[in-house]
Structure formats: structure tokens, C-alpha cells
Structure 1
Amino acid sequence: MPVKSEALPHLHLLAKAPLPGQAKTRLAPLLGADGAALAHAELVRHCVANACQALPAARVTLWTALDHAHPLFIELREALGLTLTPQPDGDLGARIRCALNSTPGPTMLMGSDCPSISAELIAACAHRLASHDVVILPAEDGGYGLIGTRQDYPGLFEAIPWGSESVLTATQQRIAALGLTAAYPATIWDVDRPEDWQRWKGLTVAV
């Protein structure tokens, strides 16, 4: 169900272009380099579709990397009407903060490889953000798949051990140190490894 118009947040997604050998490389042992790139493209389409089901496309921005004019990105812009923006340089924390601060008011950011983040869950996060400083969807691997903030909180994304199992814990410690309130509506999972892809395809086949 789409979020109502009042206090509607903007949603940003980070996505690499589906280039063989550069996207979802950990799936290559199962799918090969070309298959992993195709899998990545499928995940991006799925996550973007969920985002545009939960929120108006005018409030969804896809931040691109590797090839900003890749046909996949052009396809999504033309089909859905979302905005494309190149990702800036910097570590993941700098890129997350840049995206969140690029639009006014409450904002959220999610990855493009989290098929477990449904449109309903995005909407739930938007509603929780109306009454909390931060909203996070923890991931099973120790990170998170979505984060939302009501305004800029300097320090929230600095010195976080990105790519490790301690991302969520370090972020929670930072939230506490900054005296912020946080909501955690659900735990999600993303697709990084062959077993994650098989889990995703098992779910999609079963539906």
C-alpha cells in the first residue's frame, strides 16, 4: 500500500551497472560472470519496482555506478519515471550520507540486492520514520538493507567497518552516542552468495 502524502520521505537506491566481472562477483562460481551480471540486473529491477510501488516514482532516486548510462538504468528511468544520479566518490558511508542529504526532509536509502524488502516493508519504514530519528532494517549478515533519517546527523556514518559483520552493531552504538531514537521494523536478507541466490529463486518459484 503506498505511503500517504503527508511527511512522505524520499527513497534512494544504490546500484552498480550489471557488468560481467564487476557485479555480484560472489555469484560467479554458481552462475558464471555473465550469469551473475544478469542476476544483478534482475535484483535491481525487483528492488526498484518495490520502491516505486511503495512511493511515487518522483520520490525515488537510483544512484548509479560503473556505467551511468547503462541500458538497464535507462530502461528503469523510462519505464518508471524515477531519477538517475551518479554515485559520488568516497567510501560507502560517504555515499550513503550524500544520497540522504541530497533531498530535503526525511529520507531513506536501501541497497538494490535486498529482494526481501517488500513494498509493504518500505511503507512501514516510512511510517516509522515519522516518529523516530532513524529507521533501520537489520540484515541477517550483520549489516542493514535500509536506513532512513529525518535530518543529517554528522558522525552517523563515519568510521563504520563497512563490509564486516559489525556494521549494524557499530551503527547502533553511534545512534546511542548521538542520543537518537531508532526503529527496527524487521530483519531482512540480501543476495551476496550462491546460497542467497538459491534462497531467492526458491522463494520466487514458490510464490
Structure 2
Amino acid sequence: MEKNKLIIFAKQPELGKVKTRLSESIGEEKTLKIYLELLEITKSVTYSLDIDKIVYWNHLTEVLFGGFGSGYRAEVQEEGDLGWKMQIAFQNEFQTNPNKVLIIGTDCPFLTTEILHKAYQSLDQTDFVLGPARDGGYYLLGMKEFSPYLFHSIPWSTKDVLSLTLAKIQNHAKTVSLLEELDDIDDINDFNYWKSLN
């Protein structure tokens, strides 16, 4: 068994192409600064983990952010919807027979290193681990073996993502651990809530 892995899904920080719902309220330039801050938070909470860390970018470029630096491998997301992108990423990473694999995005400033440790530990007891997001999705998914059915027939970016994923796990007679519920930063209300806590 290889050591545990962490997949990080990220977009290159390009003006007008990140957090578009938020940019409708505060403008593209301020939104880009916020997205760069979210990337730095994601790096800060994952950097110390003694695992294989792989950033799956929407595309690679040397001109922009490019990567998280040493300790992170860079890959490119597959073309398709979010489910297909995640399915192929998990498939790629399970080819080397790791122990456990988690996936996160870069939208959750409330994620902590401790939560990630807890997610890996949870997989000692259950087949899957999920971090519920308040909008009905999830900020984290983890598994011990490649399970592509979790990504099929899910209406991504809707309030039903988590409930339908849990139903799929139950239908396959598998077990799941749930982490604490956290907020993603998608729109101005999420952003205002986050900044009100700082």
C-alpha cells in the first residue's frame, strides 16, 4: 500500500473565470483577490500533511499561479462535468494502490488540518467519509477503494448533491462517516458570513 493521498481540485486564478457568482456582487478584481486568498488557505491547511498531495488544475500554466510549490504534484482535470472530472481523478490516483484517498476543493476557508486528519481516521471505521457543506453539497469526499458510482446521475451544484450521494452509499450497502458541516464561499452571503468571523 502507498501512503494516503489528497486530491485538490483548483482553478487557475484568472480574472473573470473564478467564483463568478461572487463576482456579480463585488466585481472580478476583488473576487480574484479572494480566490487567491482561498488558494493560500487551502495550501496552509494541507502543507504539513505527510501524504501525497495532487492538485488537479482546470488547466496548467507557467504564467499564473501554476502550483502550490514543492510537496504538491500538478495534474490537469479531465474534460466533462464535475462528477466525471472527480471520477477520473480518483481512478488515476487509485492505480498506485494507496491506502485512502480524499478530495477537496479550494472554496472552504473553514477547513482545518485537524478535520483532514479526522477524515483519514474515519476511513478506518467506514467505507466513505463526507464533509457536508451548508448549501447541500460536500466540501470533502474520501474512500478506500475506487467507487465510480458515487459520481453518476448527480445534479452537481445543487442542494441535492449530498443527499443523493448518501443514498448511493446506502444503496450499495456501504458505510459512511460525516464530518462537521462547513460553509463554502460561493456568493456574497457566504463571503459576508466568512468575513464577519474575522
Query: TM-score, normalization: structure 2?
Result: 0.91
Q: Secondary structure at the match of 1:13?
A: strand
Q: Is the aligned partner of 1:187 residue 2:181? A: yes
Alpha-carbon distance between aligned partners in 2 of 1:89 and 1:152, rounded to the nearest angstrom: 19
Q: Of 39, 44, 51, which aligns to 1:49? A: 44
Q: Is the aligned partner of 1:85 residue 2:80? A: no
Q: Secondary structure at the match of 1:84?
A: strand
Higher deviation after alignment, 98-107 or 17-26: 98-107
Q: CA deviation at 1:111?
A: 0.9
- The number of aligned residues is 194
AA of the residue aligned to 2:52: R
Q: Deviations over 1:23-54 (max 9, x none)?
A: 0111213431111111111101111221123x
List runs of 5+ in structure 1 lacking aligned partners.
1-5
Higher deviation after alignment, 59-68 or 143-152: 59-68
AA of the residue aligned to 1:32: G
Q: Is the aligned partner of 1:174 residue 2:171? A: no
Would you say the 8 A contact 2:13–2:64 is kept in 1? Answer: no
Would you say the 8 A contact 1:13–1:61 is kept in 2? Answer: yes
Show the counterpart of 2:119: 125
List runs of 5+ in structure 2 lacking aligned partners.
none
Alpha-carbon distance between aligned partners in 2 of 1:119 and 1:68, rounded to the nearest angstrom: 28
Cα distance change, pair 148–70 in 1 and its aligned pair in 2 (3 A): farther
Alpha-carbon distance between aligned partners in 1 of 2:172 and 2:147, rounded to the nearest angstrom: 8
Show the counterpart of 2:29: 34
Would you say the 8 A contact 1:7–1:130 is kept in 2? Answer: no
Alpha-carbon distance between aligned partners in 1 of 2:92 and 2:124, rounded to the nearest angstrom: 19
Matches within 5 A, 1:2-151: 8-53=3-48, 55-56=49-50, 59-74=52-67, 76-77=68-69, 80-103=70-93, 104-105=97-98, 106-151=100-145
Q: Is the aligned partner of 1:200 residue 2:184? A: no
Cα distance change, pair 68–136 in 1 and its aligned pair in 2 (3 A): farther
Alpha-carbon distance between aligned partners in 2 of 1:8 and 1:182, rounded to the nearest angstrom: 21
- Higher helix residue share: 1
Q: CA deviation at 1:101?
A: 2.3
Q: CA deviation at 1:67?
A: 4.6
Query: TM-score, normalization: structure 1?
Result: 0.87
Q: CA deviation at 1:91?
A: 1.2
Alpha-carbon distance between aligned partners in 1 of 2:148 and 2:27, rounded to the nearest angstrom: 41
